[in-house]
């Protein structure tokens, strides 16, 4: 009788314990199966990796940000050495009395010696104007050759100071008639030429845009001297030949152009 009770209780105990035990053993076997996610995770943890998949788990530990790239040393802009400038110019000369004759033209500066700080070379200038000289309406043309030298600060908007000296020919064409004092003679529609020279200085800037290509603008002072007819001296001397005098005038000169 006792033996039957023990067997019955043992059967009941087996039925109670067996299902949980089988479930535990099955889970353990699945976790240790090769290629399983849990196995891989366990292997990763053993190797020091995070137990979470990268796309399903967010770590609470702050991640170290990538170091910012180091910037190179600052290299200041240095303007290249200019080779030439072509500018539109405007200045005036005296007319031998109390007024002036405005002249406009082109000026080409060719720098034979050039660097970022200094430049020097040749100047070619030509232009024209119109005004009253000795009471007659005269059209003027000029052409000059000279030298120039400049000092500039080599930055993108480069300020400079330049000095120049030039000389050449001034030609006039009478649009009316010029009376010769003390005589009944007059000159009409004639053309004459004389000499002219200038010296001056100007300050301005070069704006460098692409390489050595730049805009240039300046304003300065110029003193122009030319050999002009002197009707007053001719009349005072009661001479039948026209006398001449040197006429000097100071004026503002402006330049606006392009260079490289």
Residue 211 φ/ψ region, left for φ over 0, alpha for ψ in the -120 to 50 degree band, beta for the rest: left
Q: What is the mean pLDDT of the chain?
A: 80
Q: Hey, what's the torsion of the CAs at 143, 147, 151, 155, to 10 degrees?
A: 50
Quickly count: other Cβ atoms within 10 Å of residue 33's Cβ: 10
Q: Is the pLDDT of residue 123 over 70?
A: yes
**Can you tell me whether residue 26 is helix, strand or coil?**
helix
pLDDT tens-digit readout, 32-52 = 555 544 445 444 444 555 555
Which strand (E) or helix (H) includes residue 44? helix 37-46
Residues 153 and 92 in one domain: yes
How are beta strands 213-230 and 191-210 bridged, if at all?
antiparallel
Same domain, residue pair 29 and 152: no
In a domain, 66, yes or no: no
Residue 170 has pLDDT above 90, yes or no: yes
Domain assignment of residue 134, yes or no: yes
Q: Are 28 and 133 within one domain? A: no
> Distances in Å between the alpha carbon of 166 and those of 30, 101, 113, 148, 233?
102, 19, 18, 9, 28
Q: Identify whether 15 is part of a domain.
A: yes
Cα torsion for 36, 38, 40, 41, to the nearest 10°?
Answer: 160
Q: How many residues does the chain have?
A: 260
Residue 105 and residue 6 share a domain: no
Residues 121 and 24 occupy one common structural domain? no
Domain assignment present for residue 50? The answer is no
Residues 148 and 229 in one domain: yes
> pLDDT tens, 54-65?
555 555 555 556
In a domain? residue 64: no
CA distance 108 to 165: 13
- Residue 123 belongs to some domain of the structure: yes
Same domain, 139 and 204: yes
**0.85 surpassed by pTM:** no
Res 98 pLDDT > 50: yes
Q: What is the mean pLDDT of residues 192-217?
A: 96
Question: Quick one: pLDDT at residue 136?
Answer: 79
Examine the domain organization and report whether 113 and 30 are in the same domain: no
Give how many domains the chain has, as a whole number.
2
Please indicate, yes or no, whether residues 19 and 100 belong to a single structural domain of this protein: no
- Residue 238 placed within a domain: yes
Q: Let me know whether 100 and 27 are in one domain.
A: no
Above 50 in pLDDT, residue 71? yes
Q: What is the CATH number of the domain that holds 199?
A: 2.40.160.20
pLDDT at 2 over 80: no
Domain interval for residue 23: 2-41
**74 belongs to a structural domain:** no
For 198, other C-beta atoms within 10 Å of its C-beta total 23
Task: Mark whether 14 and 110 lie in a shared domain.
Answer: no
Query: Are 228 and 155 within one domain?
Result: yes
Q: What pLDDT does 45 receive?
A: 45
**Which tens digits make up the pLDDT trace of 126-165?**
999 999 876 778 999 999 999 999 999 999 999 999 999 9
């Amino acid at each position: 009788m006792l033996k039957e009770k023990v067997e019955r209780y043992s059967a009941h105990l087996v039925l109670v314990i067996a299902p949980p035990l089988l479930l535990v053993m099955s889970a353990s076997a699945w976790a240790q199966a090769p290629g399983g996610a849990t196995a891989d995770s366990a292997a990763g943890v053993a190797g020091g990796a995070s137990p979470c998949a990268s796309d399903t788990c967010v770590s609470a530990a702050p991640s170290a940000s990538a170091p910012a790239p180091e910037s190179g040393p600052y290299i200041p802009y240095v303007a290249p050495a200019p080779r030439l400038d072509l500018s539109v110019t405007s200045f005036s000369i005296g007319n031998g009395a109390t007024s002036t004759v405005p002249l406009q033209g082109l000026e080409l500066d060719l720098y034979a010696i050039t660097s970022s700080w200094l430049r020097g070379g040749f100047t070619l200038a030509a232009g024209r104007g119109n005004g009253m000289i000795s009471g007659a309406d005269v059209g003027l043309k000029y052409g000059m050759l000279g030298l120039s030298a400049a000092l500039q600060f080599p930055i993108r908007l480069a300020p400079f100071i330049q000095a120049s000296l030039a000389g050449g020919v001034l030609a006039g064409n009478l649009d009316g008639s010029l009376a010769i004092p003390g005589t009944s003679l007059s000159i009409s529609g004639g053309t004459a030429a004389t000499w002219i020279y200038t010296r001056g200085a100007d300050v301005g800037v070069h704006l460098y845009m692409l390489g050595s290509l730049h805009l240039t603008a300046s304003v300065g002072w110029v003193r122009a001297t030319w050999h002009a007819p002197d009707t007053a001296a001719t009349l005072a001397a009661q001479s039948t030949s026209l006398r001449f005098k040197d006429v000097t005038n100071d004026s503002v000169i402006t330049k606006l152009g392009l260079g490289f």
